[in-house]
Amino acid sequence: MKKLLAASVLVFSSMSVMAAPQSNQGGFSGPHETAPLTQAQGGFNGPSAIPVLNTVKAASQADDNAAVELTGHITSSIGKEDYMFKDGTGEIKVEIDNKDWHGITVTPTTEITLRGEVDKDWTVRTIDVNTVTLAK
């Protein structure tokens, strides 16, 4: 009987400790927001074992799914999410989904960096863009 009583006391005392508020935990405090909060995205920024092409000329001769990081200018919009992109080595069609702009607005004079991959069809190569950033 004493063992059962001791076990019960131990269980109930540990439950009250778990229920105690913790001051180092974050959470929501304040009125309810109707719009979802966006989180900053991060990741690795450094050398890669996979070669990354950095010119339009190299990308226009690359295999399907080759990684690219191109710096230059969008010269024109050619429909919906398709644009012409130009650097010092040539011009290529790029596809940029609306979500991949991340709020950046550019003009033909704005220097930008596009990261994505080559999309190779039978005779045409385009760039499927994953991110757009202002060039540094």
Q: List, for residues 102-132, the tens digit of each pLDDT value.
A: 899 999 999 999 999 999 998 899 999 999 9
Radius of gyration from C-alpha coordinates of the chain: 26
Using CA atoms, how far apart are residues 107 and 119, in angstroms rounded to an integer?
24
Quick: pLDDT tens for 27-55: 232 333 344 445 566 777 666 667 899 99
Give tens-digit pLDDT for 62-101.
Answer: 999 999 999 999 999 998 899 999 999 999 999 999 999 9
Dihedrals φ, ψ of 135, to 5°? -70, 145
Those residues with Cβ within 8 angstroms of residue 129's Cβ, 6 or more apart along the chain or in another chain: 94, 95, 96, 97, 100, 114, 115, 116
Domains of the chain by residue range: 56-134
User: How far is the CA of 30 from the CAs of 26, 33, 99, 135, in angstroms?
Assistant: 13, 9, 29, 38
CATH topology of domain 56-134: OB fold (Dihydrolipoamide Acetyltransferase, E2P) (2.40.50)
